[in-house]
Amino acid sequence: MRTVRLPSGIEVPALGQGTWFMAERRQPRSEEIAALQHGIDLGMTLIDTAEMYADGATETLVGEAITSRRSEVFLVSKVYPWNASRRGTKAACEASLRRLGTDRIDLYLLHWRGSHPFADTVEAMEQLVDEGKIRHWGVSNLDVDDLDELWGVDNGERCQVDQVLYNLTRRGPEYDLLPWARGKRMPLMAYSPIEQGQVPVDGALADVADKHGATPLQVALAWVLRQPDVIAIPKSGRREHVELNRAALDLVLDEDDLARLDAEFPVPRRKQPLEML
C-alpha cells in the first residue's frame, strides 16, 4: 500500500475507505461490515466517517467493523460545524468515541465552516490532542481563503489535511487549493473521488479503461491517486467493489492517458468556488 505523509510525519494509506451512506439500509449491514473488514485486509486501513452520517449510526457500524482490529486502523471522523465551539467540539468528539467504541480518533476534522471562530475550534482540538482523545486534527471543505484565516490563529498550522470534493469532474482544487496545500506540505483528502459512481463512463474514460483492461471507474480513481499528496476515500459496501478500488491503486496512467482525460475533463483556467456534496 502506497502511503501519504501528513505534516506531523505520520504516514497513512493513499487509498482509504469512505462510509457516507452506510448504515442507511441501502445494503445489508453485515455486507457493509464485511466490505470494510475486507478493505482492511487489502491494506485500506484508513476509514473515514462522521457524526453526520446516518445521524451517528455509521460511526456505530464502523465501530462494529473494527472492534477486534482497532490497532490496524487509522480512524477519521468529523464534527458538525454547529458543534465546533470550545465545549461543543469536545462533547461531539466524546459522543463519537462512544459510538465508535474506541478511546481515540486518529484524525478529527471540522466538517465544514460554520459560525464558530476557528480559534475556538482549534483550541478545542488541541485540548483533545492533549487529552489523548484524538491524535491529530484537520478540516474539510475549506477553500484557500478559509485556510489562510485558519493559519492565522494560534496552532492553526497544526492542521493535517483538508478533505474536499475532488475528482475528474470537479477539478477546481487544482487551480489554487492543491498548490496552496503543497506549499504547506499538507495533503488533500478526496471524498467522492469517482463522483459516487456517477462520472461519465464513456468517451475518454472508456478508451483508457479498454487500453488497460480496467473499468472506467477504476481509471477515474487511478487518476485521483496519481498524485503523491492526495488521499482518496471511495465508499464501497460490497467486497467485490472494494477489490476493484484496491486494484485501481496499481493502475499507472501514462502521458497519453492523461492527455485524453484532460481533453474531455479540462484543467481549470481560473478560480472556481470550492464545491461540496
In terms of Cβ atoms closer than 10 Å to its own Cβ (0-12, 13-18, 19+), residue 28 is exposed
As a whole number of angstroms, the distance between CA 222 and CA 253 comes to 7
Residue 162, all three cell numbers: 483538508
175 is known as an active-site residue:
no
Mention every residue, 6+ apart, whose C-beta is less than 8 A from residue 167.
190, 192, 193, 194, 195, 199, 220, 223, 224
Three-class DSSP labels, the chain: CCEEECCCCCEEECECEECCCCCCCCCCHHHHHHHHHHHHHCCCCEEECCCCHHHHHHHHHHHHHHCCCHHHCEEEEEECHHHCCHHHHHHHHHHHHHHHCCCCEEEEEECCCCCCCHHHHHHHHHHHHHCCCEEEEEEECCCHHHHHHHHCCCCHHHCCCEEEECECCECHHHCCHHHHHHHCCCCEEEECCCHHHCCCCCHHHHHHHHHHCCCHHHHHHHHHHCCCCEEECCECCCHHHHHHHHHHCCCCCCHHHHHHHHHHCCCCCCCCCCCCC
Residues taking part in catalysis: 53
